């Protein structure tokens, strides 16, 4: 077992269950296909990481895990996103890992150098956050559990990152901010990914 663990939060691809904002713009079937592409690209992207154990935390009904066989799958548990992330970090820290980071499948072309940097910075900081363009964050990492980071946050709104930093400042938690990146929730950002060299044409 390595000292570092990366958890990937994702939803089991199912009609009407994923990328609802994107579905409004491009249709439910296209949004489902887009999410499947994002999930597969994310898995391929992080598969090059070395010295970091990877776990998939899923939401939904798991019927077929053939596309996720490269790492263990664990169901998300909690009443909201914050509680589910807190529980995932707790599980991994209690399993013996010294540094834990979580990402989603919404940033399929996230530079792996960002993820590597997050774990390096956790040697000097208690908390690492990767801010996203929409006001949320694409990565959060800790070397110990700070449960208050996930409380009293209005998930899905554009002040998630700002409120999280406010909590960290008020609690005196040392943190490091990674470079900003984007996640895919609408057609504008989906097109941005499709126009990039990272888009998997074969998927």
Residue 53 vs residue 196, higher pLDDT: 53
| Sheet containing 4-11, strands listed edge to edge, beginning at the edge strand earlier in sequence | 73-75, 52-59, 4-11, 99-104, 137-142, 127-131, 175-177
Report how far residue 118's alpha carbon sits from residue 33's, in angstroms, rounded to the nearest whole number.
Answer: 30
pLDDT digits (tens, 9 = 90+) for 141-153: 999 999 999 999 9
Position 203 in a domain: no
Task: State pTM to two decimals.
Answer: 0.93
CATH of the domain at 78: 3.90.550.10
Contact 68/54 with Cβ under 8 angstroms? no
- Strands 137-142 and 127-131 turn out to be antiparallel
Position 202 in a domain: no
Domain residue limits at 112: 4-194
Q: How many domains does the chain have?
A: 1
Position 119 in a domain: yes
Beta bridge partners of 195: none
Position 80 in a domain: yes
pLDDT digits (tens, 9 = 90+) for 43-100: 999 999 999 999 999 999 887 655 566 789 999 999 999 999 999 999 999 999 999 9
Position 200 in a domain: no
């Amino acid at each position: 077992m390595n000292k570092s663990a990366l958890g990937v939060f994702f939803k089991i691809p199912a009609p009407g269950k994923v990328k609802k904002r994107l579905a409004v713009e491009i249709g439910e079937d296209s949004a489902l296909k887009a999410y499947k592409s994002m999930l597969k690209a994310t898995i391929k992207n992080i598969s090059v990481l070395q010295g970091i154990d990877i776990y998939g935390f899923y939401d939904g009904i798991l019927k077929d895990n053939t596309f996720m066989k490269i790492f263990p799958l664990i169901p998300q548990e909690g009443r909201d996103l914050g509680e589910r992330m807190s529980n995932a970090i707790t599980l991994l820290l209690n399993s013996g890992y010294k540094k834990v980071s979580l990402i989603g499948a919404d940033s399929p072309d996230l530079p792996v150098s960002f993820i590597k940097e997050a774990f390096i910075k956790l040697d000097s900081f208690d908390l690492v956050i990767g801010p996203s363009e929409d006001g949320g964050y694409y990565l959060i990492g800790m070397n110990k559990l700070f449960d208050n980071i996930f409380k009293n946050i209005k998930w899905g709104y554009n002040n998630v990152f700002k409120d999280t930093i406010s909590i960290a400042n008020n609690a005196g938690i040392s943190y490091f901010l990674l470079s900003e990146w984007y996640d895919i929730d609408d057609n504008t950002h989906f097109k941005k990914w499709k126009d990039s060299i990272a888009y998997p044409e074969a998927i």
